[in-house]
């Protein structure tokens, strides 16, 4: 997201009586630091992250994770029933269990109806079974025939679990790092000069927003994901939290600071691994889901990508 500029430093240093060799920014390939060995995709996991912040200023950690939701729910809209509105219900009632598919409490008819009873719907006793379907929301109690016991929604997935299926379909990934000075052994930034960071070529899969739907266990959930902020570990013990995708650096910006995502190194990277700072950008996502008459929020962290940049000291040329 952020980057530092390495061009136009020459003119700035010349004005200060200094000289340094610099190179124009170019983009280096970066790799995801955590991948699935089977698929090669960036790994993701669900967690509730702590409160981040820029040096000296606490950050806004955004919406909180709101739990799993109820697996059993009433939704009469398919039957043209709008009251009561869709929402969670107890998964059991007086020995009966709730079925999201039938929108009622299921219990077997005991003893079974005799052969030829209309409730068998043309089937013979022993071929499937007849069940009570109790819908307290409408006061409706009917009998249904089913070859197999209607699914017990109390044993099925929660809306959050279905939302996680939708998240998998989003194929979220770490951002591609844009940074100036450019990574690479032939590019060197300077102590005290601004570094710019940004998400290079941002898209729905790297910063959002992106929306997907998924269905399981009689529940359909629609989830929308968007990056809340990106935390940049600059490799010098500093973390910078950027609430935007950052602004790409252009040579005409000169020595200006990034307006939304930048850093200034106070020490050279000499003595670090490869004489470079390792910069890691970690995305913090907020996913809102709705379905089964419920809504919720999922916080996702752990998608990150790293690169290296070199920072040197300016040297005075003595004739």
- Tens-binned pLDDT, residue by residue, of the chain (319 aa): 333 233 222 233 233 333 232 323 333 333 333 333 333 433 333 333 333 334 334 345 778 888 889 999 998 888 888 889 999 999 999 999 999 999 999 999 999 999 999 999 999 998 999 999 999 999 999 999 999 999 999 998 999 999 999 999 999 999 999 999 888 777 788 999 999 999 999 999 999 999 999 999 889 999 999 999 999 999 999 999 999 999 999 999 989 999 999 999 999 999 999 999 999 999 999 999 999 889 999 999 889 999 999 999 865 444 4
Whether residue 25 is found in the same domain as residue 80: no
Do the domain assignments include residue 319? no
Whether residue 135 is found in the same domain as residue 9: no
Whether residue 137 is found in the same domain as residue 188: no
- Tell me, what's the pLDDT at 315? 59
Pairwise CA distance, residues 5 & 195, whole Å? 6
Whether residue 56 is found in the same domain as residue 173: yes
Whether residue 198 is found in the same domain as residue 83: no
Do the domain assignments include residue 60? yes
Number of compact structural domains in the chain: 2
Do the domain assignments include residue 241? yes
Sorted by sequence, the CB contacts under 8 Å of residue 318 that are 6+ apart come out as none
Whether residue 302 is found in the same domain as residue 167: yes
Tell me which residue has tokens 């790092």.
Answer: 177
Pairwise CA distance, residues 289 & 199, whole Å? 25
Where is the domain boundary, 155, 184, 200? 155
- Tell me, what's the pLDDT at 28? 35
**Which residue range(s) make up the domain with 41?**
2-69+157-312
The enclosing domain of 198 has a CATH number of: 2.60.40.10
> Against a cut of 0.95, is the pTM above it?
no
Whether residue 137 is found in the same domain as residue 15: no
Whether residue 146 is found in the same domain as residue 248: no
Whether residue 161 is found in the same domain as residue 145: no
Do the domain assignments include residue 317? no
Contact assessment for residue 23 and residue 6, using Cβ atoms and an 8 Å cutoff: yes
Whether residue 49 is found in the same domain as residue 59: yes
Q: Are strands 104-108 and 129-135 parallel, antiparallel or unpaired?
A: antiparallel
Contact assessment for residue 180 and residue 5, using Cβ atoms and an 8 Å cutoff: yes
Whether residue 136 is found in the same domain as residue 193: no
Q: Which residues pair with 97 in a beta bridge?
A: 92, 106
């Amino acid at each position: 997201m952020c980057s530092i500029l390495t061009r136009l430093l020459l003119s700035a240093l010349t004005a200060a009586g200094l000289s340094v060799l610099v190179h124009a920014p170019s983009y280096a390939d970066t790799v995801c630091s955590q991948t699935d060995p089977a698929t090669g995709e960036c790994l993701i996991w669900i967690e509730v992250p702590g409160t981040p912040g820029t040096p000296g200023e606490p950050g806004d950690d955004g919406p909180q994770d709101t739990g799993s939701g109820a697996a059993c729910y009433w939704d009469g809209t398919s039957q043209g029933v709008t009251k009561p509105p869709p929402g969670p219900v107890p998964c059991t009632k007086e020995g009966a269990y709730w079925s999201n598919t039938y929108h009622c409490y299921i219990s077997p008819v005991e003893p079974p109806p005799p052969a030829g009873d209309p409730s068998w719907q043309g089937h013979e006793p022993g071929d499937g079974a007849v069940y009570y379907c109790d819908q307290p929301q409408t006061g409706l109690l009917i009998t249904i025939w089913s070859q197999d016991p209607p699914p017990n929604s109390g044993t099925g997935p929660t809306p959050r679990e279905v939302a996680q299926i939708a998240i998998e379909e989003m194929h979220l990934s770490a951002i591609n790092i844009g940074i100036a000075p450019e990574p690479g052994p032939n590019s060197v930034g300077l102590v005290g000069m601004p570094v710019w960071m940004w998400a290079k070529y941002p898209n729905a899969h790297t910063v959002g927003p992106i929306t997907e739907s998924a269905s399981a266990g009689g529940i359909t959930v629609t989830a929308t994901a968007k990056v809340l902020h990106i935390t940049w570990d600059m490799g010098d013990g500093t973390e910078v939290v950027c609430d935007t995708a950052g602004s790409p650096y252009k040579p005409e910006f000169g020595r200006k600071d990034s307006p939304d995502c930048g850093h200034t190194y106070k020490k050279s990277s000499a003595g670090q691994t490869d004489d470079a700072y390792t910069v890691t950008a970690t995305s913090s996502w907020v996913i809102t889901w709705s379905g089964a008459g419920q809504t919720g929020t999922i916080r996702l962290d752990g998608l990150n990508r790293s690169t290296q940049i070199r920072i040197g000291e300016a040297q005075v040329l003595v004739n």
